[in-house]
Structure 1
Amino acid sequence: MKKITFIIALLITTLGFSQEWKSDIEEAKAQAAKEGKNILLVFSGSDWCGPCMKLDKIVWKSEIFKTESEKKWVLVKADFPKKKGNVLSPELTASNNRLAEKYNKSGNFPLVVLLDNTGRVIGMTGFKNVSAEEYVKIINALLK
């Protein structure tokens, strides 16, 4: 019984700290407008881009980023995997391609774009080999 209680508590804690990365920019705009937040759009190559994987491990999964993002941003990820086992649906691939046409014409990976709730670009940054805390500061500095 103690094991079951522990597992349930662990799941609830884990779910409480998980982020919700959206793939639909229109849904993100609606949520951002409703909550008074900006949108953080991340272009990633999750299975081939070394810096993308490092950002995911060090920044996106960090508690400091999770806490900050809950307060300030609606998160959108446009992923461009290359391995056969990670192929996205045709609809999601098309949606990510439309986002890239609008916000990442030069095809930079990773690219982090801060948008207002209408989709207007506030600022952009890429990979920086810094701590999660420093990277959050870099994102916040885009507002200035």
Structure 2
Amino acid sequence: MGKIYLILVFFIGLVSTQAQELKWHTDVKEAMAIGSKEHKPLLLFFTGSDWCGWCIRLQKEVLTTPEFRKWAKEKVILVELDYPRAVPQTPAIKQQNYELQNAFGVQGYPTVWFATAQIKDGKPAFGGLGKTGYVPGGPVAWLEVANGILNQK
């Protein structure tokens, strides 16, 4: 009985660890600090998580796959900028997200911007590397586009 319990605890821990592999930041200043420390660009995911069909599809087909997780851990700092209809957000997050939507000229969802970021005069300053959205073909096709953007810098 003890061995079964230990095996069960091990597998639950393994599943929990895999589920927590990626950290999607919602505070862009926090993500900028980490990106600066790790010398990685930001991946800014503009999404309507609870209503946008293409956003949900991008999540399912790409952003939750093992291929994406491996790539993201090596290449970028993840930032989710959500514009939900039914999920409550703090006023600070709403304001931040709308300011970034305007700064990047986002007019539709999903939009994924890759950007460098730094603080200048106490405010975030971004260098846009490029953008994409939903790409048919799963993680391989999407990552090919993403790598093309990142390799231009």
Asked if Structure 1 and Structure 2 have the same fold, meaning a TM-score greater than 0.5 normalized by the shorter chain, the answer is: yes
Distance apart, 1:131 and its partner CA: 1.1
Q: Which runs of 5+ in 2 are unaligned?
A: 119-125
Q: Is the 8 A contact 1:43 1:78 kept in 2?
A: yes
Matches for 1:14-29 after TM superposition, within 5 Å: 14-17=16-19, 18-29=21-32
* Code of the aligned partner of 1:96: N
Q: C-alpha deviations, 1:84-129, integer Å up to 9, x for none?
A: xx121222111111111211x2421000000124321000111122
**Among residues 44, 49, 55, which one is paired with 2:52 in the alignment?**
49
In structure 1, C-alpha distance between the alignment counterparts of 2:106 and 2:24, rounded to whole Å: 23
- Aligned counterpart, 2:13: 11
Q: SS at the partner of 1:123? A: strand
The higher radius of gyration belongs to 2
In structure 1, C-alpha distance between the alignment counterparts of 2:72 and 2:106, rounded to whole Å: 26
Q: C-alpha deviations, 1:43-75, integer Å up to 9, x for none?
A: 000111111000011111000000000001000
* Code of the aligned partner of 2:24: W
Q: Is the 8 A contact 1:37 1:117 kept in 2?
A: no
- Aligned counterpart, 2:110: 110
Q: How many residues align?
A: 141
In structure 2, C-alpha distance between the alignment counterparts of 1:126 and 1:48, rounded to whole Å: 16
Distance apart, 1:10 and its partner CA: 2.6
**Among residues 138, 142, 145, which one is paired with 1:135 in the alignment?**
142
Is 1:59 matched with 2:66? Answer: no
TM-score under structure 2 length normalisation: 0.84
In structure 1, C-alpha distance between the alignment counterparts of 2:77 and 2:51, rounded to whole Å: 25
Q: Which segment drifts farther, 52-61 or 130-139?
A: 130-139
* Code of the aligned partner of 2:127: R
**Among residues 35, 38, 41, which one is paired with 1:35 in the alignment?**
38
Q: Is the 8 A contact 1:60 1:66 kept in 2?
A: yes
Distance apart, 1:5 and its partner CA: 3.8
* Code of the aligned partner of 2:110: P
Q: Is the 8 A contact 1:23 1:76 kept in 2?
A: yes
Is 1:72 matched with 2:75? Answer: yes
In structure 1, C-alpha distance between the alignment counterparts of 2:106 and 2:76, rounded to whole Å: 24
Q: Which runs of 5+ in 1 are unaligned?
A: none
